[in-house]
């Protein structure tokens, strides 16, 4: 896979300009409406959304040989305007992260020598 992040962004930009959805929010809406959509970009392979929320959009690009690269675009959500996307894509890779949560529960124990009713 010998394409740059800028080339990917340019190809996606061309794709979204040809769709009914425009802007990066439009690409976001395209993948919301068609979550399993795979977009073929002849120059580099197929693009599919992997993860999407109001803070980030991650897409995977699979070349004809089956090699996969992942790219992320950051954004933020505002209640009056929805998600706005900031900056360009940058390459990421999946990594497992273990998160341990601590639940605090109140437990009542009998007091030794306490009176009973």
pLDDT for 38-61, tens place per residue? 666 677 888 888 887 767 888 888
d(CA 29, CA 27): 5
d(CA 48, CA 70): 10
Examine the pLDDT at 104 and tell me if it is beyond 80. no
Whether the Cβ atoms of residue 74 and residue 56 lie closer than 8 Å to each other: yes
- Coil, strand or helix at 75: strand
**Mean pLDDT of all residues in 82-97:** 79
Whether the Cβ atoms of residue 45 and residue 64 lie closer than 8 Å to each other: yes
**Mean pLDDT of all residues in 6-22:** 67
Write down the pTM of the prediction.
0.66
Report, in angstroms and rounded to the nearest whole number, the Rg of the chain calculated over CA atoms.
23
The 10 Å CB-count burial string (b at 16+, else e) for 78-106 is eeeeebebeeebeeeeeeeeeeeeeeeee
d(CA 49, CA 92): 13
């Amino acid at each position: 896979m010998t394409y740059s992040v800028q080339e990917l962004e340019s190809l996606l930009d061309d794709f979204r300009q040809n769709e009914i959805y425009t802007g990066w929010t439009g690409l976001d809406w395209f993948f919301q409406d068609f979550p399993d959509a795979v977009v073929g970009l002849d120059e580099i392979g197929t693009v599919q959304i992997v993860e999407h929320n109001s803070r980030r959009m991650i897409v995977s690009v699979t070349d004809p040989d089956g090699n996969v690269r992942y790219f992320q675009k950051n954004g933020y959500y505002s209640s009056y305007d929805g998600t706005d996307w900031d900056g360009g894509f940058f390459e990421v890779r999946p990594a497992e992260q273990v998160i341990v949560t601590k639940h605090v529960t109140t437990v009542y124990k009998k007091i030794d020598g306490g009176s009973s009713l």
